[in-house]
Every structure is written in C-alpha cells, then in structure tokens.
Amino acid sequence: MNKVILIGRLTHDPDLKYLSSGKEFASFSLAVNDKYNKEDTDFIRCVLFGKGAEIFCQYMTKGRLVCVTGRLKVRNTEFKGVRQKDYSVLVEDFEFLEKGKSAPKKQEPDEYNDYSEGYDDDDIPF
C-alpha cells in the first residue's frame, strides 16, 4: 500500500499549468513540521491533477495550512552525471484547514480530481 497523509503550510503560491493534452495540474510544496522537534521541517513537493488543481490554486496561497492525501512517487533522475532519486506526492485529495477566501471546507476527490483517469510518468512535470 502506498498512502501519504501530510499536514503542512504552502511554501509558495501553487503554480497552475497545463499538459500538452490540455489537462490541468498544480505543483506546490508543503513545509511539514516534525511532531516532536518543532525546529525540524521537511519540504515536500506535491502535484495535483484535474479540476481539483484549479480549485486548489483558486483558494490556496503561500502560508495557508492544508491536509493532502495521496501516494509517494519516486523517480530516478540524473543530474550532471550523478544518479539521484526524486520524491514527490501525487495528491489524490485535499482539505483546507483554515478559513480563507470563501473556500469550501473539503474537496471530494471523485468530484474534482481527474487523477483516477491515470497519468504515466512522462506527464509528471518534474
């Protein structure tokens, strides 16, 4: 089973872009604090596909608190001849945890997120 649940704050405004197929996606990163050591923070890249990406970008801005669930994606990359592993979270569902610009409290994945249609590794923008 590959399941990730994160609660964190956006490190920057999410970027809404479009694939060559016309599908929308949002990329963003979350700052997630360690429960036991408040000074230890992880910065985790996330990507969200489908209609949910537009909704997410409409309501979320830098510093806002959000809960995302999804799956971990690991890709092997090479940079300047050095092989590396690149980790990101493919978001399947999200929930706004703070009040903001009249944001709906919870987004249903089946209604807003087209992730279930499937994307291959080449569609992921990083």
- pLDDT (tens digit, 9 = 90+) per residue, 42-71? 999 999 999 999 999 999 999 999 999 999
The amino acid occupying position 76 is: N
CA atoms within 13 A on the CB side of 121: 8
Domain for residue 76, yes or no?
yes
Are 30 and 44 contacting, i.e. CB atoms less than 8 angstroms apart? yes
Residue 43: which domain range? 4-117
CA gap 45, 66 in Å, rounded: 14
Domain for residue 98, yes or no?
yes
CATH of the domain at 28: 2.40.50.140
Residues of the chain with pLDDT under 50: 103-111, 115-116
Q: Looking at the 3D structure of the chain, how many domains does it have?
A: 1
pTM to 2 decimal places: 0.73
Buried-state track 2-28, b at ≥16 Cβ within 10 A, e below 16: eebebebbbeeebebeeeeeebbbbbb
pLDDT of residue 100: 63
CA atoms within 13 A on the CB side of 36: 0
Domain for residue 125, yes or no?
no
Domain for residue 122, yes or no?
no
Domain for residue 47, yes or no?
yes
Domain for residue 66, yes or no?
yes
Domain for residue 113, yes or no?
yes
Q: Over the chain, what is the mean pLDDT?
A: 84
Which are the contacts of 72, defined by CB distance < 8 A and separation ≥ 6? 2, 4, 87, 88, 89, 90
